[in-house]
Structure 1
Amino acid sequence: MTVEQIYTGCLAQGAYYIVSENEAVIIDPLRETKPYIDRLEKDEVTLKYIFETHFHADFVSGHVDLSRKTGAPIVFGPTANPDFDAIIAKDEQIFEVGKIKIKVLHTPGHTMESSTYLLIDENGKETAIFSGDTLFLGDVGRPDLAQKAASMTQEELAGILYDSLQNKIMPLADDITVYPAHGAGSACGKNMQKETVDTLGNQKKTNYALNQPDKESFVREVLDGLTAPPKYFGMNVAMNKGGYEDFDVILKKGSHPIRSEDFEAVAEDTGALILDTRNAAEFQKGFVPNSINIGLQGDFAPWVGAMIVDVQQPILLVTDVGAEEEAITRLARVGFDNVIGFLEGSFQAWKNSGNEVDTVNRISVKEFASQLKDDSKVIDVRNETEYAAEHVNEAYSKPLVNINEWATNLEKDEHFFLHCAGGYRSMIAASILNSRGIRNFTEVEGGFKAIKETDVPTSNFVCQSKTLK
């Protein structure tokens, strides 16, 4: 028996590949199926089952395509009702794979169909759990995502999650390995550890959610500090439940080169959003007007979901030459399947054709330190917890995720400085503001990490005596 975690850092997501004898299973696969199929062929094994721990909200799973291409059935836990053929398992139902067994433990709470898969080895020993979003390392799945579907309050769902953990997970042996669906950085939890594998015994000792004295305390602590989930989550759930177009079709459609002389007309005719995936340093020096910058070399897919939201939005890509397929793939992972083409020759071709070029005013932290005055306005687009830990004195906390709300209240003639932690998020914000005609700002290269190395006064005390008008 072999168990392999296939971890994707951009999504902080773990898929699992398990082999016994000449049979395999895959748990919570990513959207693109070719790597899994190649691996099955290399190992000369047959995919027997595709297990889904629940209807995922933060990414589109590859279960539908993988089942189409391999013939392996999809397995969901009790109460799941997908719009495609699947095995809806009973609680404690056992599936045999080679010489091992996988036992279904229905663990509702994150969602009502959420299930944990218990691995039993060839000797009959319970060795691991694949806990999905029921149990993370350091946290548990947020219980506020399924409220509409379950017609329950988040408090009721949290109580159900407490019962699932106490009745199904806590009684298991301490030496069992925990393989969660997500790690630190995922929006499906709030307190995840950076590690991606642990023992259940250690989680019983260190996980705050497993150390609450009673259900009431658990509900209160798990719900405390939850921010609103990204708005694209519901659309991903719908795709995971209802099915989607074959990824190969999506890739072929998106891999359509568009000449620089035709690019603007295509954007206008289709209403496409121009998404520039180059890094912030390259983008700020020059870009196609009205482009939105979300760099591939960062948390690309989650930020696309949070900023663009509508998975049906037509998208035109500007990428580094050769990065088109990667961009299309990573967009599809979060359900953005409507890429209609890319700028042939990248931005350089656009520039060489004599087309209009836009830029962002970016300065170094040394320049920021020299230009900052007592009455300067500074906008910090990091999240609230980052800001609360430490920030530039008198800076406004305006998280990037809420830009649609706070951008409308900006004074168009009042200059402000813009920064995040390292420059990735602030360039996203800069590109969005630019596209809306808000240009009276200066973006700070290197963000707060670099600012801390200067003599700019910072504080860990939340002090906002000024308000945006």
Structure 2
Amino acid sequence: MITVLTLDTPGLGDRSYLAHDGEVALVVDPQRDHDRVRELAERAGVRITHVFESHIHNDYVTGGYRLARAVGARYLLNADDPVSFDRVGVRDGDVVTVGRMRVCVLHTPGHTHTHLSFAVEDESGQSVGVFTGGSLLYGSTGRPDLLGPAHTDTLVHAQWHSARRLANELPDSTAVYPTHGFGSFCSATQSGGDASTIGAEKAVNPALTADEERYVRELLAGLDAFPAYYAHMCPANAAGPDEIDLSPLAEADPAELRRRIEAGEWVVDLRTGTAFAAGHVAGTVNIGLGGQFVTYLGWLMPWGTPVTLLGETPAEVTEAQRELVRIGIDRPAAMATGKPEDWAGDTPLRSFPQATFADLAAAFDRGERPAVLDVRRNAERTTEHIEGSVGIPIHEILGRLGEVPPGPVWVHCASGYRASVVAGLLDACGHDVVAIDDIFGNARAAGLPLITA
């Protein structure tokens, strides 16, 4: 019997997999902190002998290279991938035996030119599953534009054909195990769900229900921005990432924290948006660990800027370190733990109010005309937005500060997380802000005037 175990990395919207026959195991697309995969194998009582990489990733630094070296496994990549280290090169049609598993290599370009999928059969020849990386996702496909506009047209057509190939060559019962699509910006459109099969995807996936022309047109029309840090991931993966170091960081006292803030470094408060709004050190930024912490930090912070982490406990800082190494931010400059009063020294704490959409509606009812800043992505805002609001997506806010309305400005997103991040950034820049900690669906219930596409 073949068992597939899933390892979620929700901060990046990705999944890694360990498949085993009870004795030996293969791993697909492991994250850089590969100790999690090794612990999974140890609990299952199996030995990792092969590590497969579906593509040179753009959204995280891989752990495949170092995992293979750590456990003495074979590291398998597309033979055409330009990397600077030794690996086992595989191509379309190759078959790799892993214990009682038979792995068929399928070239599925679309997310990248050299993208591979791996179809696994048991020793009787029965299809177990296919690891699709950034090809066929749950209800979607991987986006084709990450390599630049010169490649997008070729890749989007290739993606449609790759999805069709998987659907045509594999039984409907074959389980689909994608790497991306669980909040990852590598997904072309919103993707979700806990499980799927080839047969299920045939019924719902646009790549399998629409003709090529329609699929291409609609996919390209729906593409939105992706995180700026992606530009640094492919070069890091092609070079062969180093091992990680999660040892404790140097402790910073209030004077050092103030010096770092005044020098333009990023001092990041890891607490919740509610805790940050109630009281924080002036000039700090709030990106809470409870959401897509590493995605937004990597997207917003100028690459290479020294970062200091503030957490209530050392465990929170360690968790943030672990997330940061996944995108190649290896050693933050410093850390501090405790409460904001411990970090501020003699400097007074800053705060700003939080509110709901009902509170905003009440302000309108009183005859006030509060400035409203919508920090959702353009595609979200186009669907529906508050009449008179200003739209600046979160990832553009630092480059468009001059467009932020004079305060007090009420900041909202879809759920409150991004609004809290932007409110903190604006507060650090001296803006008078109100953070709306609420679900956008409540805006209509509150009676706010909405414009719908």
Partners of 1:361 and 1:442 within 8 A in 2? yes
One-letter identity of the residue aligned with 1:82: V
TM-score (norm 1): 0.89
Match of 2:392 in 1: 398
Contact 2:119 2:131 in 1 (8 A): yes
Letter in 1 for 2:316: A
Superposition deviation, residue 205 in structure 1: 1.5
Q: What is the alpha-carbon distance in structure 2 between the residues aligned to residue 115 and residue 425 of structure 1?
A: 34
1:221 corresponds to 2:218: yes
Q: Provide the residue aligned with 2:162 in structure 1.
A: 164
Matches within 5 A, 1:338-377: 338-351=331-344, 353-372=345-364, 373=367, 375-377=369-371
How far apart, CA to CA, are the structure 1 residues paired with 2:105 and 2:169?
15
Query: Hey, what's the Cα distance between the residues in 1 that align with 2:386 and 2:374?
Result: 8
Given that 2:34 and 2:63 are in contact with CA atoms closer than 8 Å, whether structure 1 keeps it comes out as yes
* 1:417-445 superposed Cα distances (whole Å, 9 cap, x missing partner): 222223211111111122233x1333223
Match of 2:204 in 1: 206
TM-score when scaled to structure 2?
Answer: 0.92
Q: Does 1:234 align with 2:231?
A: yes
1:21–1:99 CA contact under 8 A, matched in 2: no
1:244 and 2:241 aligned: yes
Contact between 1:110 and 1:134, CA under 8 Å: does it hold in 2? yes
1: CA distance between counterparts of 2:358 and 2:193?
Answer: 36
Query: Is 1:259 aligned to residue 253 of structure 2?
Result: yes
Change (3 A) 1:91 1:365: closer
1:454 maps to 446
Q: Using a 3 Å threshold, how does the CA distance of structure 1 residues 222 and 422 change in structure 2: closer, same or farther?
A: closer
Contact 2:142 2:180 in 1 (8 A): no
Preserved contact between residue 189 and residue 219 of structure 2 (Cα < 8 Å): no
- Paired residue type of 1:209: A
How has the CA–CA distance of structure 1 residues 409 and 277 changed in structure 2, closer, same or farther, with 3 Å as cutoff?
same
| Structure 2 counterpart SS, 1:224 | helix
- Aligned with 2:440: secondary structure? helix
Q: Give how far 1:15 is off.
A: 0.7
Does the CA contact (< 8 Å) of 2:3 and 2:19 recur in 1? Answer: yes
- How many Å separate the matches in 1 of 2:346 and 2:183? 41
**Is the Cα contact below 8 Å between 1:136 and 1:192 reproduced in 2?**
no
Distance 2:320 2:288 in 1: 10
Partner of 1:88: 89
Which amino acid counterpart does residue 411 of structure 2 have in structure 1? L
State the partner residue of 1:284: 277
Contact 2:108 2:116 in 1 (8 A): yes
Partner of 2:299: 306
Q: CA distance change for structure 1 residues 405 and 259 in 2, over 3 Å: closer, same or farther? A: closer
Structure 2 counterpart SS, 1:197: coil
Residue 92 of structure 1 and its aligned partner are, at CA, apart by 1.3
- What is the aligned partner in structure 2 of residue 132 from structure 1? 133
Three-state SS of the structure 2 residue aligned to 1:85 is coil
Shift of residue 225 of structure 1?
1.4
- 1:365 and 1:175 mapped to 2: Cα distance? 45
Number of positions where the alignment pairs a residue of Structure 1 with one of Structure 2: 449
What is the deviation of 1:147? 3.1
Structure 1 unaligned blocks of 5 or more: 463-469
Structure 2 residues without counterparts, runs of 5 or longer: none
CA contact (8 A) 2:419 2:435 kept: yes
SS of the residue 2:137 aligns to: coil
Question: What is residue 465 of structure 1 aligned with on the other side?
Answer: none
Match of 1:186 in 2: 184
RMSD of the TM alignment (CA)? 2.2
Distance 2:416 2:32 in 1: 29
Aligned partners of 2:199, 2:73: CA distance in 1, in Å? 34
Paired letter, 2:306: P
* Amino acid paired to 1:174: D
Contact 1:78 1:91 (C-alpha < 8 Å) held by counterparts:
no
Cα distance, 1:14 vs structure 2: 1.2
Residue 245 of structure 1, CA deviation: 2.9
1:17-70 CA-to-partner distances (Å, cap 9, x unmatched) read 111242111111122122222233333422111111111111222112212311
Secondary structure of the residue that 2:169 maps to in structure 1?
coil
CA contact (8 A) 2:224 2:378 kept: no
Partner of 1:20: 21
Q: Of the candidates 407, 417, 428, which is equivalent to residue 421 of structure 2?
A: 428
> Residue 387 of structure 1: which of 362, 378, 381 is its match?
381
Superposition deviation, residue 244 in structure 1: 2.6
Distance 1:169 1:363, change over 3 A: closer
